[in-house]
Amino acid sequence: MPKKPDEEDLFIRLNNPNLIRKNILESSKLILTILKQTYRIKQIREVKQAKISNLSVQIKELKILVQKIEELMPQYTKADLKKLLPDMPITKKSSSESSKSEKPEPKEDWDQEPKSAAPISDMDRITKALEDVQRKLQTL
Amino acid sequence: MINESNPVFVKIDKYKDILNIVEVINKKVTGVKQLLAELEELKDKETEELNSWKNNLDQITHKLETMQEELTRG
């Protein structure tokens, strides 16, 4: 079926088609390079994430070790205890008693929180522990 | 409050435990330092990749502009 005059194909002259072709190919190449880079960045981030998790574990272990040292170190001298508790006879604590009293303070604070409150995030817990350490340092 | 002028006495077994723990802590700190260095290296690598990414995108934009110019000129 012959085309009507107004449906005839129209053409536009391109003076430099090679340049356009070259640009298309180069753009395509660059896009593929970007895709490759995206993949590489993703891989780097995965490795980074694994390392950060490992770091977090190591830091937690360090925290436990430092706490252990704190537990092993005597908290008060006899003279200090006499000053703090003049009426109390100073006797040696049993191991169960001492472990009870040496529990970290923040835990007690958390127990006092209302049960309806939103669950405490790790960040809140760390902030609270940090405040606790700072308070202890100020009392030294 | 711990008074600096009053020394405290640590049982010898506890003292040894403390020394052992300090040694473990030292080793762990070295490991953590190594991890941090590796993380820094990865961060630099990532920044480098992102910069190259941006550079490539700029090049594409430039090529598209050239193409558009060439197409509209006709």
Q: What is the mean pLDDT of residues B29-54?
A: 95
Facing residue for B2 by CB, picked from A34, A66, A80: A80
3-state secondary structure chain A: CCCCHHHCCCCCCCCCHHHHHHHHHHHHHHHHHHHHHHHHHHHHHHHHHHHHHHHHHHHHHHHHHHHHHHHHCCCCCHHHHHHHCCCCCCCCCCHHHHHHHCCCHHHHHHHHCCCCCCCCCHHHHHHHHHHHHHHHHHHC
Contact A128, A106 (CB under 8 A): yes
Contact B46 A24 (CB under 8 A): no
Q: Is the predicted pLDDT of residue B2 greater than 90, yes or no?
A: no
Kindly state whether residue B6 falls inside one of the protein's structural domains: no
ipTM of this complex prediction, to 2 decimal places = 0.77
What is d(CA A3, CA B26) in angstroms, rounded to the nearest whole number?
87
Domain coverage including residue B41: 11-74
Q: Is the predicted pLDDT of residue A102 greater than 80, yes or no?
A: no
Q: State how far residue B63 is from chain A, nearest Cα, in angstroms.
A: 6
Please tell me which residue, A35 or A114, carries the higher pLDDT value: A35
> What does the angle CA A68 – CA A70 – CA A75 come to, to the nearest 5 degrees?
140
- A&B contacts, CB < 8 Å: 117
Contact A105, B26 (CB under 8 A): no
Kindly state whether residue B1 falls inside one of the protein's structural domains: no
Interface contact B3, partner A, CB < 8 A: yes
Q: For position A3, what pLDDT does the model report?
A: 65
Q: Is the predicted pLDDT of residue B72 greater than 60, yes or no?
A: yes
Domain ranges of chain A: 15-88, 104-112+119-140
